[in-house]
Amino acid sequence: MIRRRQGQSSLLLGILVAVLAHLPSAWAHEARPAYLELTETAPGRYDVLWRTPLLAGMRLPVVLVFPKGVRNLTEPTQRVLPDSLLERQVIEVDGGLAGKRIDFTGLPGTITDVLVRVQLDDGAYSTTLVRPSRPWIEITASQGPLAVMGAFVMHGVEHILFGYDHLLFVLALILIVRSVRSLLLTVTAFTVAHSITLALATLGVVRVPGPPVEAAIALSILLLACEIIRMRRGETSLTARWPWAVAFAFGLLHGLGFASALAAIGLPRGDVPQALFAFNVGVELGQLIFIAAVLAAMSLARRLAATPRMASIARLSVTYAIGALAAFWLWERVAAFWA
């Protein structure tokens, strides 16, 4: 019976470590959506802004397809940004785009959504999140602020659940704290901190270049992994005594990372407060989902572990996996400064 439980525990540990070890670095912050903005400047005439993310320097294989009857008044102009390709053009269609369908060819083959913002000349607007499972949108009139908030809540959830560097940081915090009360205090401090810098950076009060922030986020994960090892050896530190303070300090840094993701989407003009609040709510919901899943997995692992030593080995293996990934991300992101 003991051997069977040891086998089950080893299998569970192996799966967890394998998943952590094989998360590609390109996935960290690569769940950024494409962005389409249509602004009606006159009846039936639209300014088009189409932004697609770049992954490892390659354009996302998604093609914007307008309905029949759409005419180009200007040829598309392209601008290559560090993380995306930006296209602008002016189109015209008799009767306007209301009731017509726009397709995103190639979207089902990606993990990326498309955020669509439509502003009509009468002041009506709509914001919609198009998913790979339904790669098209039918243009309608205004959907109101609730639709805008719903779209940004979903994007916030998806961003945190696909932002593996942020998830590994939260996982390291969970491994550091020793009680439920301390975990709640630590996670709350992290949440408050990244909410502050997310708002300040999004509103333009604070401006920090993206690449150094991404490298510093990787460093924060590596430092937490080292702190876990120190605590295992019985050494004391600021992190061990006041994990909430460390979580708050690093949370300010991670908030800048969230702001970079939000900037990559492009906040809809006129909806900035709602979109910012909804995105932050989505991030917190995704974070809570992840924490609940980790605590459930840890509880299961403790039950499957035949001895306390086995459980300790499992925690140590996960810690080294976190540290190894963080070190690789740090090296990769620092090297990208000169790429």
One-letter amino acid for residue 181 of the chain: R
Residue found by looking up tokens 């333009």 in the block: 204
**Ranges of each domain in the chain:** 2-29+163-338, 34-144
pLDDT at residue 265 in the model: 64
Bigger pLDDT: 142 vs 28: 142
Identify the three-state secondary structure at position 57.
Answer: coil
186-225 confidence digits (pLDDT tens): 989 999 999 999 889 888 888 888 888 989 999 999 999 9
Query: Could you give phi then psi for residue 154, rounded to 5 degrees?
Result: -65, -40
Alpha carbon 316 to its chain centroid, in Å, reads: 27
pLDDT at residue 20 in the model: 45
Query: Could you give phi then psi for residue 44, rounded to 5 degrees?
Result: 80, 0
> Helices 272-304 and 144-162 meet at what angle, rounded to 10?
40
Identify the three-state secondary structure at position 36.
Answer: strand
pTM tops 0.75: no
In order of 44, 97, 101, 256, the CA distances from 71 in angstroms are 10, 12, 15, 40
Alpha carbon 200 to its chain centroid, in Å, reads: 18
31-62 confidence digits (pLDDT tens): 568 899 999 898 889 999 999 988 767 788 89
265-323 confidence digits (pLDDT tens): 666 666 678 878 888 888 889 999 999 999 888 888 777 766 777 767 778 888 899 99
